[in-house]
Amino acid sequence: MKANAKTAATLRSLAAGRGVRIGCAVGRAFWSDERYRELLARECNVIVAENVMKWGLIHPERERYDWGPADELVAFARAHRMRMRGHTFVWHRQAPPWLEKGTFGRDEFFGILREHVTALAVRYQGVVAEWDVVNEALDDNGGFLRNSFWSRACGQDFIDAAFSYAHEADPDALLFYNDYGIEYECVKQERLFELLRGMIARGVPIHGVGLQCHFETGKVPVEGMRRVIGRIAKLGLKAAITELDIRIARPTGAQELAQQAKEYAALTRVFLEFSGSCDCQLTWGITDRYSWVPVFFEGFDDALLFDREYRPKPAADAVATEFAHRA
Ligand code: XIL
């Protein structure tokens, strides 16, 4: 099985064989590129919207939701028997001006949050099995909460409230707190565990933590991942790898691709070790033809599993091999 895992089987079928979910964020190319859609259908048993379920896109005006694009993704997921992750109810970015700049009383603000969360969770019940309820609420510089329009409007309470509203709307959905910079030991990770312990003590319906995992080749915290997933599991929570990519400093050569493949393989081993508590691994995109990396990280690229021509890179083969030979 090992040698030819990559040609014989897709990542999707290998993951299904291990009882786990593998997939990616789906971006704009979904609406323009048939080959991209074919690649998704072949390789993924779970997808997440890269942008179209974010507040600013799906609820651009107070009285108007723009369901079209998200509905199309959900229909695609259903047609191809995939699950979806929902991303994301509460974030300080990609929020519509009416919300971010609005001057609402506290009760009104919570009412708006409840209405938004309920509308999405109810509409996509049954397909969106888990939600990133709150995204990136922790501070990057050692404080507790990020200073954002959310924390300025209502301190910490928006976090508990969003989870409670989501649970009320869809009691079957698994609810995650999602962030970056928490994958290895650091102050932000300690703040994460403070947040989690507090939420658990208050009886907030939280079920898991999304580890974004935007990494750079040569600096992938494999041991950190093993430890943090273990710590999350000890709290009785699930972990999910939600936005994995491993960017390479240009120019990319064979050596860098081989190093990246080793790192994807090492992370896949950790993922499979913990499949009881971490059963979903998503990359933030699928082909290097379309990726947020070169846009957001100057000088970096080639972070994903498939190349610009949709061919599996050494990283994809390495992931497939891990799935196959550890079965
Ligand atoms: C990014 C998208 O990939 C971009 O297309 C968009 O312009 C900005 O957001 N963390 C997250 C994701 O939780 O929502 C972000 O996605 C990447 C970082």
- Residues in contact with ligand 1 by the CB-under-6-Å rule are 50-51, 135, 212, 243, 292
DSSP-derived secondary structure for 255-278: HHHHHHHHHHHHHHHHHHHTTTT-
251 upstream amide cis, omega within 30 of 0:
yes
Beta strands in the chain, from DSSP E residues, in sequence order: 21-26, 46-49, 83-90, 128-135, 174-179, 208-211, 214-216, 238-249, 280-283, 300-301
Q: Which among 50, 243, 263, 322 is annotated as catalytic?
A: 243
Q: Please state whether beta strands 238-249 and 300-301 pair in parallel, antiparallel, or not at all (unpaired).
A: antiparallel
Which atom of ligand 1 is least distant from the CA of 284?
3
Q: Residues 30, 36, 41, CA angle at the centre, nearest 5°?
A: 95
Query: Over the range 16-43, which residues count as b (16 or more CB within 10 Å of their CB) and which as e?
Result: bebebbbbbbbbebbeebeebbebbbeb
243 is annotated as an active-site residue:
yes
Name the packing angle between helices 68-79 and 34-43 (round to 10°).
50
pLDDT one-digit tens code per residue, 203-250? 999 999 999 999 999 999 999 999 999 999 999 999 999 999 999 999
pLDDT tens by residue, the chain, 327 residues: 444 444 558 999 999 999 999 999 999 999 999 999 999 999 999 999 999 999 999 999 999 999 999 999 999 999 999 999 999 999 999 999 999 999 999 999 999 999 999 999 999 999 999 999 999 999 999 999 999 999 999 899 999 999 999 999 999 999 999 999 999 999 999 999 999 999 999 999 999 999 999 999 999 999 999 999 999 999 999 999 999 999 999 999 999 999 999 999 999 999 999 999 999 999 999 999 999 999 999 999 999 999 999 999 999 999 999 999 855
Could you tell me which residues are beta bridge partners of residue 249? Answer: 300
Contacts of 297 by beta carbon, 8 Å cutoff, 6+ apart: 247
Ligand 1 center from residue 83 Cα (angstroms): 20
Out of 50, 130, 136, 256, the active site residue is 136
User: Which atom belonging to ligand 1 lies closest to the Cα atom of 25?
Assistant: 3
Q: Decide: residue 260, CB within 10 A, 0-12 exposed, 13-18 middle, 19+ buried.
A: buried
Protein residue closest via CA to atom 6 of ligand 1 = 51
Which residue out of 180, 296, 300 has the highest number of ligand 1 atoms within 8 Å of its CB and is therefore the one to mutate? Answer: 296
Contact 65, 119 (CB under 8 A): yes
Contact 256, 264 (CB under 8 A): no
d(CA 93, CA 91): 5
* Ligand 1 nearest-atom number relative to CA 135: 13
Predicted structure pTM score:
0.97
